[in-house]
Amino acid sequence: MWDSPGFLDLPARPGKPRSAGVTHVLDRGVPVPYLEAVLTQAGDLVDVLKIGWGTAYVDPAAKDRAMLCRSAGITLCLGGTLLEICYAQDKVDQLVEWANGIGVAAVEVSDGLCAIGRDRKAELIRRLSTDFTVLAETGAKDSTVPVVAADWVDEMESDLAAGARWVVVEGRESGTVGLYHPDGSLRTELIEEIQTRLPVDRVIFEAPRKPQQVWLIDHFGPQVNLGNIPLEDALAVETLRLGLRADTARVHR
């Protein structure tokens, strides 16, 4: 932890391990020296680092990535698409053995390819939560699949009951599906359903775009959990949380 100047009146931000105000970043497979540099600068601000989709499977430096995250107090998470493919090929046991071997701390359980189903997804969560922290994502990757708010929250409730640490609201890397309309604006009816029925500190909202981050911080406050943040934006998101950027600054004259 670095010595902040400390002279401004800013929203309180708890240190790690955080139960709220979580920043979940997306690593697309950047070179390890780049990751090390980012974590040296902003590691205190990152809680979860997800290796996107199936990148970890083809990354010869995956174990080094895991070691960096562990030393920075960051939970390294495998992308859900990799698990979905393993499930389809009946290779989940092999995934577990490999992930444990390289030091992965968390897995994302998703059904973005619409091939698992809610009941089997819950079974996977129960099974994997004995070895890993589980992040359970709700929502399809296909933008043509209808978003029914009540159904999404039913699934999230089921996932939490099955043992997920957090439920993740799908937005993809693009911020144009799931929680978002194709133009990137939020589906407010889904937000309302989530806020009414779920403990918001157990929900991570994927928000890869700055306007989405701003909307969620304005709506929920600086302790909202934000996910799929581009790795290089960890510092920028923290300034939004703290009101150190014009989009969220509150100046009273």
**pLDDT value of residue 235:** 97
**pLDDT value of residue 4:** 81
Q: Are 239 and 245 in contact (CB under 8 A)?
A: yes
Domain 23-242 carries which CATH code? 3.20.20.70
**pLDDT value of residue 179:** 96
**pLDDT value of residue 113:** 85
Q: What is the pLDDT along the chain (253 residues), one digit of tens a residue?
A: 567 898 999 999 999 999 999 999 999 999 999 999 999 999 999 999 999 999 999 999 999 999 999 999 999 999 999 999 999 999 999 999 999 999 999 999 998 887 898 999 999 999 999 999 999 999 888 888 899 999 999 999 999 999 999 999 999 889 999 999 999 999 999 999 999 999 999 999 999 999 999 999 999 999 999 999 999 999 999 999 999 999 999 865 4
Q: Give the three-class secondary structure for 209.
A: coil
Domain ranges of the chain: 23-242
Please, what sign has the CA dihedral across residues 230, 174, 108, 151? positive
pTM of this structure? 0.96
**pLDDT value of residue 2:** 63
What distance, in Å, lies between the first and last C-alpha atoms of the chain?
33
Sole residue written with tokens 């990757």: 141
Single-letter amino acid, residue 166: W
d(C-alpha 100, C-alpha 234), whole Å? 27
**pLDDT value of residue 41:** 95
Q: Are 204 and 227 in contact (CB under 8 A)?
A: yes
Q: Are 191 and 212 in contact (CB under 8 A)?
A: no
**pLDDT value of residue 32:** 97
Helix segments in the chain, DSSP class H: 32-42, 62-71, 80-88, 92-102, 118-128, 149-162, 188-197, 210-220, 234-242
